[in-house]
């Protein structure tokens, strides 16, 4: 009787260890997670009808230690049509069937949730430009994915672009591009070096 009592725990122990080591139900760890909402790349295209200038900002490792690669622009005084493209380059651009991967084009998601998003344009460090919204959401408020940029005077500085999630689009100044009262959360907050000649 006594012997059996001491055998019992050993039996249980062996059951636990053999039982569990076989149960490898998660081979899933062989797939990396590619974050679906990460914005790795921002491309701002400015066009005056004749020439096109592209400002780009790219940080492929997201919150990792690699620094972002930023390309600014030098352009003459004038009026430009602008548009913003947001990309997630951690996922494939094309699906297996050759169609475009919607997760790659974050812009599509922003435009789908147009009521919840707004871009803001802040010229800083001596840059003298004015941005005006040229698009609107389903309630008639601006989004800013399409915009106009007027550069009347020469100078250089930075063009800071902020994308807010769930801003208060009706707060004072917000429809005119002043983000002071917008609240919300920052999806993008980046600055491009820009020179106006």
Partner 1 sequence: MRKILSTALLLTLCAVNSQNCNSSLSGKIIDLHDGSILPGATIVVLENNFKTFSDIEGNYTISNLCNDKTYSIKILHPSCDTVIFKWKASYGKIEKDFKLEHHLEELNEIIVKGSSYKDQSKSVLESQISNKTLEKYSSASIGDALKSLSGVSSLNKGNGIVKPIIQGLHSSRIIMINNGVRMQDQEWGKEHAPNIDVNSIGKITLIKNASALKYGGDAMAGIIIAEGPKVAIKDSLYGKTMLFGSSNGRGGGITSQITKSFKNGIYGTAQGTFKRFGDVEASDYIMSNTGLYEKDMSLRFGLNRFNYGIEGYYSYFNTEIGILRSSHAHGAADQIRAIESDIPLTIREFTYDIGYPKQDVTHQLSRIKAFKNLGDYTLELQYDYQLNRRFEYDIRVGNDRDKPALDLKLDTHTVLIDLFGPLGDFNFKSGIMGRFQSNFANPDTGVRRLIPDYDKYDFGLYTILDRKIDDKLEIETGLRFDYSYMDVFKFYKNSVWEERGYDILFPDLVVEEFSNQVLVNPELEFNNLSATLGFNYKLDDNNTLFINHALSSRAPNPAELFSDGLHHAIARIEVGDLRFKSEVGNKTSITYSHVGKTFNFSINPFINNIRDFIVIEPVEIRETIRGNFQVWEYRQTDAQLLGVDIDASFSISNKINLNHQLSIVKGYDNTMDEPLINMPPINTKNEISYNNKELKNLKISLQSEYVFAQNEFPNNNFEVYLPITETYEEVDISSTPDAYHLLNLNASMDFKTSKKSSLTVGLGINNLFNTSYRNYLNLLRFYSDDMGRNFLLNLKFNY
Edge-to-edge strands of the sheet including 185-196?
Answer: 73-75, 185-196, 155-165, 117-124
Q: Which of residues 127-146 bind partner 1 (CB under 8 A)?
A: none
DSSP-assigned beta bridge partners for residue 193:
158
Taking the CA atoms of 38, 59, 102 and 189 in sequence, report the sign of the dihedral they define.
positive
Nearer to partner 1 by C-beta: 19 or 140? Answer: 19
Instruction: Check binding of 2 to partner 1 (CB under 8 A).
Output: yes
Nearer to partner 1, 50 or 66 (CB): 66
153 binding partner 1? (CB under 8 A): no
Strand residues in 19-139 grouped as ranges (E): 41-47, 52-58, 69-71, 73-75, 78-87, 117-124, 130-133
28 vs 97, beta carbon nearer partner 1: 28
Overall size of the chain counted in residues: 197
Closer to partner 1 by Cβ: residue 47 or 186: 186
In the complex, the smallest distance separating the C-beta of residue 168 from partner 1, rounded to whole angstroms, is 11
Tokens 């689009």 belong to 169
List residues near partner 1 by CB under 8 A.
2, 5, 8-9, 12-13, 16-17, 19-21, 23, 25-26, 28-37, 39-40, 42, 57, 59-68, 90, 109, 112-113, 116, 122, 124-125, 158, 160, 162, 165, 179, 183, 185-191
């Amino acid at each position: 009787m006594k012997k059996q009592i001491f055998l019992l725990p050993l039996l249980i122990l062996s059951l636990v260890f053999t039982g569990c080591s076989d149960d490898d139900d998660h081979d899933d760890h062989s797939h990396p997670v590619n974050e679906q909402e990460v914005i790795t790349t921002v491309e701002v295209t400015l066009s005056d009808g004749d020439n096109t200038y592209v400002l780009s900002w790219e940080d492929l490792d997201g919150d990792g230690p690699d620094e972002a690669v930023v390309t600014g622009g030098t352009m003459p005084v004038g009026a430009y049509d602008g548009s913003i493209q947001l990309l997630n380059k951690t996922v494939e651009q094309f699906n297996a069937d050759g169609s475009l991967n919607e997760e790659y084009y974050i812009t599509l998601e922003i435009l789908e949730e147009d009521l919840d998003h707004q871009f803001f344009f802040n010229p800083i460090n001596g840059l003298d430009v004015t941005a005006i919204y040229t698009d609107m959401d389903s309630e008639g408020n601006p989004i800013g994915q399409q915009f106009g940029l007027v550069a009347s005077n020469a100078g250089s500085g930075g063009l800071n672009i902020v994308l807010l999630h769930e801003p208060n689009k009706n707060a004072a100044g917000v429809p005119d591009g002043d983000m002071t009262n917008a609240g919300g959360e920052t999806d993008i907050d980046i600055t491009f070096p820009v020179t106006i000649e």
